[in-house]
Amino acid sequence: MVSIAGTDAASNLSVSIDLDFKLVDSENTYFPGSVKQGIQFHQGFYRAFKRIIPDLNTAVQAGVNDGAKTIIVTGHSLGKLSH
């Protein structure tokens, strides 16, 4: 399983990603067929997704190399404030 952390309320960069909420068009590179369907994404999250693609590919490939038959990629929004 590959798990991706969500918003870190203690990080200005992480919070700024949440606030960058303009919708942008998808790209077939990452989501085949999505352009034809007119799918759009939250700009901040989509930019963050594109930044982690190399690490995501590495993690998935490591699972494949270790013989994994199923790889689950999941995200999690922390949804809490740090004190």
pLDDT band at 18 (very low <50, low <70, confident <90, very high): confident
pLDDT band at 83 (very low <50, low <70, confident <90, very high): very low
Strands 2-5 and 23-25: unpaired
Q: What is the rounded distance in angstroms from the CA atom of residue 30 to the CA atom of residue 73?
A: 14
| Residue 79: per-residue pLDDT | 47
| For the chain, domain boundaries | 2-76
More confident residue, 37 or 15: 37
Strand partners, 73: 2
Neighbouring residues of 64: CB distance < 8 A, sequence distance ≥ 6: 71
Mean pLDDT of 14-25: 83
| Residue 71: per-residue pLDDT | 87
Query: Which two three-digit tokens encode residue 69?
Result: 């038959």
Q: Are 44 and 19 in contact (CB under 8 A)?
A: yes
Mean pLDDT of 67-72: 90
pLDDT band at 34 (very low <50, low <70, confident <90, very high): very high
Q: Are 73 and 2 in contact (CB under 8 A)?
A: yes
